[in-house]
Structure 1
Amino acid sequence: MKWTGRFEGYHAGNFRRDLVSGLIVGIIAIPLGMAFAIASGVSPQYGIYTTVIAGFLISLLGGSKFQIGGPTGAFIPVLLAITLQHGYENLLVAGLMAGVLLVLMGGFKLGALIQFIPRPVTVGFTAGIAVIIFTGQIASFLGLSNIQKHEYFIPNMQEIVIHLSSANPYSITAAVISLTVMLLTPRFFPKIPGSLVGLVCSSIIAAWWMDGQTATIGSAYGAIPSTLPAFHWPAITLERMSQLIGPAFVIAMLGGIESLLSAVVADGMSGTRHHSNRELIGQGIANIVTPLFGGIPATGAIARTATNIRSGAASPISGMIHSLTVLLVLLAFAPWASRIPLASMAPILMVVAWNMSERKEFVHILRTRSGDSLVMLITFLLTVLTDLTIAVEVGLLAAAVWFMKRMSESLTVAKVLPDPQTRNEKVAEYIVKEEHDCPQISIFTVEGALFFGTSAKFEQSVRHAVRNRPNIVLFRLGRVPMLDTSGESSLSKVVKEIEGAGGAVMISGIRPQPRALLQRTGLESRIGSERYFERTGEAITDALSRIDPRKCAGCRHFAFRECALLSASPETDRKADGS
């Protein structure tokens, strides 16, 4: 999809739709931008700057037609930890570095790799982030004083418990008003953003009847400037970069995951198709430029993107209008924002946390009581109790271990023989019995990936079944979709042992990838290309021509339809006598 393809056939009617949706989403983004910034440990205006600059660039340069970019709740625990540990200036450097990483990820076409992150891991860390966001607003909701923010969950909970006695009834009242109005507004006025109405109503009531009784944005962070900050290049040194490469990588990965998830949601709602690598590049450029004006890291916002589509957006211009709307509001009403109570903003983030928690999906996976449940719980608990980096790393490792366990269990190696009662005498496992099993030909159906997690099982199964040393061993590999070098090594060992005992190996139905690997390793030439067959029937016919006729004389297994003739044939007896 070319960049200009997103505007193909654009007309005045499309602009009207973009104007309406852009205004609506812009109004919604204002309180969210400030709230996300405060929760991340920085002044609220930096959230506004991020919405204006990053939001515009993501819509202009990204790969999704309807994506709305800006600060999001998923970043809060990561950004707060960086701010507490390294400071605001280093947060800007980490965001810029993350932008470079995103551009590189898009440039090297790694966008498709994001889809390989297991669902239990994403649900686990998303639910964990939601818990951190929700609990992080309890202090502001209750108006607790002298609260110190910590990097980890348990110390923050201890702070709340210690300072519960300092709860402010005025702050609680403002918070309850904001929450109530925010929840009721969609029921009566579904097209009006409830978060903004709740914030405005509670702020007006607080200004009239609780003036000076609650902490406000102005008292906590100072007045919000009514202009964008000047360009500022942060001090970037090798020492800083080495300290921040870890946090920058987490920001890039989380931003990439959330932006592409948001783009997928947008595709499902609009019937369009996003360009994942260009989306990463657009996100990267936005995160490189935004810190130069004081903004924090940004990504695609699922809820705002969905609102953009539902509001009738026709093109990326709606996202640009949303950013310009926020800029105009900043220029016109910034001094008023300083009087917003922090308690009025707390319910906004609590509702965001509730909506992003994926509670239904969490419970659904939990009810499976499987390895996926364990992976999700591990990721969730580590996200809450440690940090997102450790949680994702351990979660991915646990998911990989669980995947390998399932794959190893899925491999089956079954000894089979033709079923004379079926059409074309298809081979089946149930036909093989102690009294009905050819002493000279063993046929195995191998089903499942043959890789390092299943190679030992393959060796053990075959060795146990060929202990009677048959003349011919036929492996049916049509149901082996993938073979790695460990699987090839196991197959090579089995071939060597069979040939060492005087037998021969045949292979039928092998797929392109496994055969290509056998060709590269030389195992195909060792077995002999003449012993590879497309169909099992052809392989059996060839195998019967290679058996020792002396062992067929008097045999009563009758494993194949030719056995009755071979067992009783005078020709067989003469061959057995050497005449």
Structure 2
Amino acid sequence: MLFHPKILDSFAGYNRTLLTKDVLAGLTVGVVALPLAMAFAIASGLKPEAGIFTAIIAGGLISLLGGSRVQIGGPAGAFIVIVYGIVERYGVPNLLLATAMSGVLLFMMGVFRLGTLVRFIPIAVIIGFTNGIAFLIGLSQIKDFFGLSIEKMPAQFFPAVQTLYQAANTFNPIALGVAIGSLTFIIVWKLFQKRLGWLSHLPGTVVAMVSATIVASLLNLPVETIGSRFGGIPSSLPSFEWIPISWDSAQYMLMPALTLALLGAIESLLCARIADGLTHERHESNQELMAQGISNLTTPFFGGMPATGTIARTVTNIESGATTPISGIVHALTLLMIILFAAPLAKDIPLASLAAILMYVAWNMGEWKKFIDLKQFRLPYRITILSVFFLTVILDLTTAVEVGLLLAFITFIYRISSLSRCESADTKDFPTLNHLQGRVDAYRIYGAIFFGAVKLLEKIEENLPTQTLLLDLKNVIYIDTSGMDTIMELAHLCKIRNIKLIICGLDHQPLEMVQRSDFLKSLPADCFYPDLISGIKAATQS
């Protein structure tokens, strides 16, 4: 079926025990998602409630309509850099428009079954931009981590570094102490979590945030809080508002929307694959993309931000015992209850503590070990991963991915062309050819005859025999249009020079390509043989 959410297949054998596991997992993930949703929104240049509303609405829709049993959706760290840049350059209304447009693009990607194509993005490109985004997240949190007095942080790398440098003398030692204390608490909690008994179920990020809030409130510490910067969080349901849409704005937002859609597709399907590995089940990638599309089309009308699958919350969901999308729906309802009944308490949360949480998230988000192990990989892999990383940091994600894919494409062509080879058939294997030296030449071709390997046939053209040319294509696995044109040019050249061309061993895709190009009709019937030996017998008899 075209549209078939995974939740429809999740209730076979479902019972009270599994429901209890899903509810407990959903409650756990909901608590985990609270500080992350607020931190991601603030780091993106939005109000904290934008992140929470997104986690509620998008998280619920992704679980209800998605193609994975256990994936948790919501605002993600990967979007911070992109969203912040869009907000700074185009404003929040245009961010909402770009998010809705990305939702349409994601849904169409699912409808046209493009989910599997996302898997073709090379791992070097993914690691490069993931590490680049993680680095930029860490850079964006230096302001609140050190309590610097900066009215607005630039989105670009060099202006951001310059701004941080110029404001270095304004750092707040109290804010820095809160941030370091929160980060240390999270790390220590993670190290000793298994020894904490029933407390081990509590996420360290939440405990650190609550502890920092209590300490800052009791001691009346002079640090910036959610209340001092944003006025707190509304304790009400998000209201529906139409997005201002104009053709002029839509044209400018097409590329940002495409960036959000591609990043959302990559993140969500990577997350789903990780979940598959942990649960030993398979997600439906196209259904997941359609669910992501619907959620991103819906959330902007409630003031939300872009959403995708979130790896940390999904893994927490699985480790907490979740088995069906019910846990994701419970996670969304948990956040909704927090908003309705505990929102006033959030105004005292120190921003330095949220910055520490994001620093921790950024560190765990990046695959830094891959940089240490770069010397183990070939030069093209190193160039690709480092190029994508530095371009993500210095320029933007779109340029980085484009360049990364181009480098990967060039590397792939080079590798495949280097695997294709042409060998002369040894005359010792065919004694009947000894007396025909110079008049009959036989060649075996291996690999693929495509636009990157047509030089193999061009070399044969330079050394044509006087009587018969035999080509053994039994080991050719693929021929593209350029390769077919080169073969036809070789046949035409042989015809002009009155040289008999014999083709041997065509099978599968190469045979289909030859038939579609009408090449078979251009040569006599006695010029095609199933193998090289049959072709040589025919050549010696002619």
Q: TM-score, normalised by structure 1?
A: 0.89
Alpha-carbon distance in 1 for matches of 2:472, 2:79:
51
1:130 maps to which of 127, 131, 134: 134
1:251 maps to which of 251, 260, 281: 260
Using the TM superposition, name which of 537-546 and 443-452 deviates more: 537-546
Alpha-carbon distance in 2 for matches of 1:220, 1:495:
76
Answer yes or no: is 1:65 the counterpart of 2:74.
no
Answer yes or no: is 1:360 the counterpart of 2:369.
yes
**Local SS of the residue matching 2:240:** coil
| Structure 2 partner of 1:563 | none
After TM superposition, give the deviation of residue 480 of structure 1 in Å: 1.9
Alpha-carbon distance in 2 for matches of 1:90, 1:30:
26
Alpha-carbon distance in 1 for matches of 2:524, 2:37:
68
Alpha-carbon distance in 2 for matches of 1:530, 1:290:
67
After TM superposition, give the deviation of residue 370 of structure 1 in Å: 1.7
After TM superposition, give the deviation of residue 419 of structure 1 in Å: 5.2
**Local SS of the residue matching 2:444:** strand
| Structure 2 partner of 1:463 | 461
After TM superposition, give the deviation of residue 342 of structure 1 in Å: 0.7
Conserved in 1, the CA contact under 8 Å of 2:474 and 2:531?
A: no
Task: Spell out the pairing of 1:207-218 with structure 2 (5 A cutoff).
Answer: 207-211=217-221, 213-218=222-227
**1:427-475 deviations in whole A, cap 9, x for unaligned?**
9xxxx9xx998333211111122111221x1233212443xx2422111
Answer yes or no: is 1:481 the counterpart of 2:477.
yes
After TM superposition, give the deviation of residue 227 of structure 1 in Å: 1.1
Alpha-carbon distance in 1 for matches of 2:428, 2:219:
88
Answer yes or no: is 1:33 the counterpart of 2:37.
yes
Unaligned ranges ≥5, structure 2:
195-200
**1:10-34 deviations in whole A, cap 9, x for unaligned?**
1111101101111111110000000
| One-letter amino acid matched to 2:417 | S
C-alpha change, 1:324 and 1:419, in structure 2 (3 Å) is: farther
Task: Spell out the pairing of 1:217-256 with structure 2 (5 A cutoff).
Answer: 217-256=226-265
Answer yes or no: is 1:179 the counterpart of 2:180.
no
After TM superposition, give the deviation of residue 529 of structure 1 in Å: 4.0
Alpha-carbon distance in 1 for matches of 2:428, 2:11:
62
**1:493-536 deviations in whole A, cap 9, x for unaligned?**
11222222221111222232222222222222213343222222
**Local SS of the residue matching 1:260:** helix
| One-letter amino acid matched to 2:172 | N
Alpha-carbon distance in 1 for matches of 2:274, 2:463:
51
Answer yes or no: is 1:115 the counterpart of 2:119.
yes
Alpha-carbon distance in 2 for matches of 1:155, 1:443:
64
After TM superposition, give the deviation of residue 136 of structure 1 in Å: 0.9
| Structure 2 partner of 1:75 | 79
| Structure 2 partner of 1:275 | 284
Conserved in 1, the CA contact under 8 Å of 2:421 and 2:445?
A: yes
| Structure 2 partner of 1:446 | 445
| Structure 2 partner of 1:153 | 157
Unaligned ranges ≥5, structure 1:
547-579
| Structure 2 partner of 1:501 | 497
**Local SS of the residue matching 1:449:** strand
C-alpha change, 1:350 and 1:366, in structure 2 (3 Å) is: farther
Query: Over alpha carbons, which structure has the higher Rg?
Result: 1
| Structure 2 partner of 1:141 | 145
C-alpha change, 1:419 and 1:299, in structure 2 (3 Å) is: farther
Answer yes or no: is 1:382 the counterpart of 2:391.
yes
C-alpha change, 1:437 and 1:32, in structure 2 (3 Å) is: farther
Identity %: 42
Query: Which 4+ runs in 1 deviate beyond 4 A?
Result: none
| One-letter amino acid matched to 2:441 | S
Alpha-carbon distance in 1 for matches of 2:224, 2:424:
76
| Structure 2 partner of 1:556 | none
| One-letter amino acid matched to 1:173 | G
**Local SS of the residue matching 1:338:** helix
| Structure 2 partner of 1:402 | 411
| Structure 2 partner of 1:343 | 352
| Structure 2 partner of 1:203 | 213
Alpha-carbon distance in 1 for matches of 2:375, 2:356:
28
Using the TM superposition, name which of 240-249 and 485-494 deviates more: 485-494
**Greater length-normalized contact order (CA 8 Å, ≥ 6 residues apart):** 2
1:370 maps to which of 374, 379, 386: 379
Answer yes or no: is 1:56 the counterpart of 2:60.
yes
After TM superposition, give the deviation of residue 409 of structure 1 in Å: 2.2
Alpha-carbon distance in 2 for matches of 1:130, 1:219:
27
**1:77-101 deviations in whole A, cap 9, x for unaligned?**
1100000011111111111110011
Alpha-carbon distance in 2 for matches of 1:68, 1:544:
70
**1:13-63 deviations in whole A, cap 9, x for unaligned?**
110110111111111000000000011110011000000000000000000
C-alpha change, 1:366 and 1:299, in structure 2 (3 Å) is: farther
| Structure 1 partner of 2:295 | 286
Conserved in 2, the CA contact under 8 Å of 1:50 and 1:70?
A: yes
2:340 maps to which of 328, 331, 348: 331
**1:539-574 deviations in whole A, cap 9, x for unaligned?**
22222222xxxxxxxxxxxxxxxxxxxxxxxxxxxx
**1:209-250 deviations in whole A, cap 9, x for unaligned?**
243x10111111122101122111111111111110110010
Q: TM-score, normalised by structure 2?
A: 0.95
Conserved in 2, the CA contact under 8 Å of 1:123 and 1:362?
A: no
After TM superposition, give the deviation of residue 192 of structure 1 in Å: 2.0
Report the number of matched residues: 532
**Local SS of the residue matching 1:149:** coil
Please tell me the root mean square deviation across aligned C-alpha atoms, in Å: 1.9
| One-letter amino acid matched to 2:229 | A
**Local SS of the residue matching 1:189:** helix
**Local SS of the residue matching 1:99:** helix
Conserved in 2, the CA contact under 8 Å of 1:378 and 1:395?
A: yes
Alpha-carbon distance in 2 for matches of 1:176, 1:379:
31
Alpha-carbon distance in 2 for matches of 1:241, 1:544:
70
